[in-house]
Amino acid sequence: MKLSVCLATFNEAKNIHYALDSTINWVDEVIIVDGGSTDNTVALAKTYGAKVNVITTTNPPIFHINKQKAIEAATGDWILQLDADEEVTDNLRAEIERIANSEWQIADAIAYQIPRRNYFLGRFLMKGGVYPDYTIRLYKRGTMYFPCKDVHENVIPVQSTEYKVQSEGWLGTLENPMNHYSDPTFARYWHRWKRYCAIEASRVEENALRLYKDTRKYLAWKIVFIFKCIFILPIYWFFLSYFRHKGFMDGWQGFVFHFMSALRWWGIAIAVWRQKRK
């Protein structure tokens, strides 16, 4: 069975070694859709040899669009979808190879979710609902796709005749985690935090405009939504993740992460307030 690794990149020169170093020696091809990086991401990727195929395009706000392009360009029987800052551990590699080589598979499974360890300011976060952070990353080519509607979405099954999901048996779960070096510095986290807040606010605003076409109803919704984001949701989210789900066990990094996660509602509220009805 042929195995393809699919990546979407934009200015990932500092991180792309995680994905490529941990896969290049045992996969059949690497498809990289680059959104016009201005650093040496593409040059570094090409140093890994003929297995790497780089497709250059634009960098859309919903970067899942480029991930979908990578999936469509792959030729492998199985697709392993990664981000540039994700690393496949040795134990996870063994699991993936067994599936791709048909040595072990869950009956009727066309996709597998993988647990993910997220790195934040010097440690992997293991509490507060952050781990195992299951995400669907290994699947048969042609069976899954990105709807490209939400920045946090996962792939979903293609409802074709051959792969239409008839039961819960379509999805399997792997045991060993991948490492996600998402936030080694606060500057990187802050950049992503602001971008996600802006994207989420735009999505919420677009849905509201479709739902509340009357100006008064729209303004009433906006006031209620911003009130919830400022006074209710941050408190609820912080106590849920930091205390109920034991985020405090991840030390000071856990406090910073869950505090900023709660404050993202303020970021969304500010972005929504600045939006003008079109």
pLDDT of amino acid 105: 73
pLDDT of 128 over the 70 cut: yes
Q: Which has the higher per-residue pLDDT, 203 or 128?
A: 128
Please report, in angstroms and rounded to a whole number, the separation of the first and last CA atoms in the chain. 50
Alpha-carbon distances, residue 170 vs 108, 137, 143, 163, 211 (angstroms) = 6, 14, 10, 9, 34
Each residue of 145-171: pLDDT tens digit?
999 877 778 899 987 545 555 556 789
The helix or strand, by DSSP H or E, that contains position 54, with its residue range, turns out to be strand 52-56
Q: CB-based burial of residue 107 (10 Å sphere; 0-12 exposed, 13-18 middle, 19+ buried)?
A: exposed
What tokens appear for 165 in the block? 């999901």
| Nearest by Cα to 21 from 179, 154, 176 | 179
pTM of the model: 0.88
Calculate helix-pair angle for 251-274, 186-211, nearest 10 degrees: 40
